[in-house]
């Protein structure tokens, strides 16, 4: 039972670590376009991201795939930047369902990239055990819970900004995505290949 809490907390703090805020930035740009009305679609996107993240950890933990971590550290801010740019170019569209399949696929792919960024650490802490599936699932559960918390907070802030402060949805998406782009550019420069 103590191992369950260890890996669950590890997953929680992987997302909620303010020093490694790239995960939070990705969640922000992924979910800023949604409201409480579309919570099912947003929950599906978050879960798809977790599945991609977990799949890459699984592939790395069992030495199926080896990656160059310099590339991964560069690609993580690229995924954030691409998602934010997608928001900027589609902010005025009220119906995004025509592009939803692409968004689902991109979210899984971006989850794979983000998971590889954490895979060396996960391999190190789980190397004492041959059975890595259960810790991986416990870790994934922690990630999913933390992501839901972050997205719920963002939905509340979005609701307040759009209802009380009267931001239009389009302006809110543009402002938040632009702020995230501004925070992502230094990450790209620091990790340039």
Residue 86 lies in a domain: yes
Contact 54, 133 (CB under 8 A): no
The CA distance from 143 to 148, in Å, is: 9
Residue 9 lies in a domain: yes
Which residue segment(s) compose the domain that 162 sits in?
2-14+25-190
Contact 90, 30 (CB under 8 A): no
Residue 147 lies in a domain: yes
Residue 20 lies in a domain: no
pLDDT score, position 171: 97
Question: Which tens digits make up the pLDDT trace of 44-78?
Answer: 999 999 999 999 999 988 889 989 999 999 999 99
Question: Which tens digits make up the pLDDT trace of 87-144?
Answer: 999 988 766 666 678 889 999 999 999 999 988 888 777 766 666 889 899 999 999 9
Residue 1 has pLDDT above 80, yes or no: no
The CA distance from 154 to 137, in Å, is: 25
Interior CA angle at 179 toward 45 and 54, to 5°? 30
Question: Which tens digits make up the pLDDT trace of 15-47?
Answer: 998 888 999 999 999 999 999 999 999 999 999
**Considering its fold, how many domains does the chain have in total?**
1
Residue 122 lies in a domain: yes
Residue 118 lies in a domain: yes
Contact 162, 169 (CB under 8 A): yes
Residue 43 lies in a domain: yes
Residue 19 lies in a domain: no
Nearby residues of 169 by Cβ (< 8 Å), 6 or more positions away: 35, 162
């Amino acid at each position: 039972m103590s191992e369950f809490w260890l890996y669950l907390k590890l997953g929680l703090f992987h997302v909620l670590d303010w020093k490694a805020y790239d995960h939070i930035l990705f969640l922000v740009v992924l979910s800023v376009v949604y409201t409480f009305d579309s919570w099912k679609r947003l929950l599906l996107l978050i879960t798809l991201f977790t599945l991609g993240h977990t799949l890459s950890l699984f592939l790395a933990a069992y030495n199926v795939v080896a990656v160059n971590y310099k590339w991964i550290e560069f690609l993580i801010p690229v995924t954030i930047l691409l998602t934010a740019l997608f928001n900027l170019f589609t902010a005025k569209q009220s119906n995004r369902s025509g592009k939803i399949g692409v968004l689902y696929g991109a979210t899984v792919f971006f989850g794979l990239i983000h998971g590889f960024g954490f895979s060396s650490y996960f391999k190190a802490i789980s190397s004492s055990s041959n059975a890595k599936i259960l810790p991986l699932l416990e870790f994934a559960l922690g990630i999913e819970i933390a992501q839901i918390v972050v997205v719920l907070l963002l939905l509340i802030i979005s609701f307040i900004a759009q209802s009380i402060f009267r931001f239009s949805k389009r302006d809110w998406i543009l402002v938040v995505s632009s702020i995230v782009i501004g925070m992502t550019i230094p990450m790209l420069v620091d990790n340039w290949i």
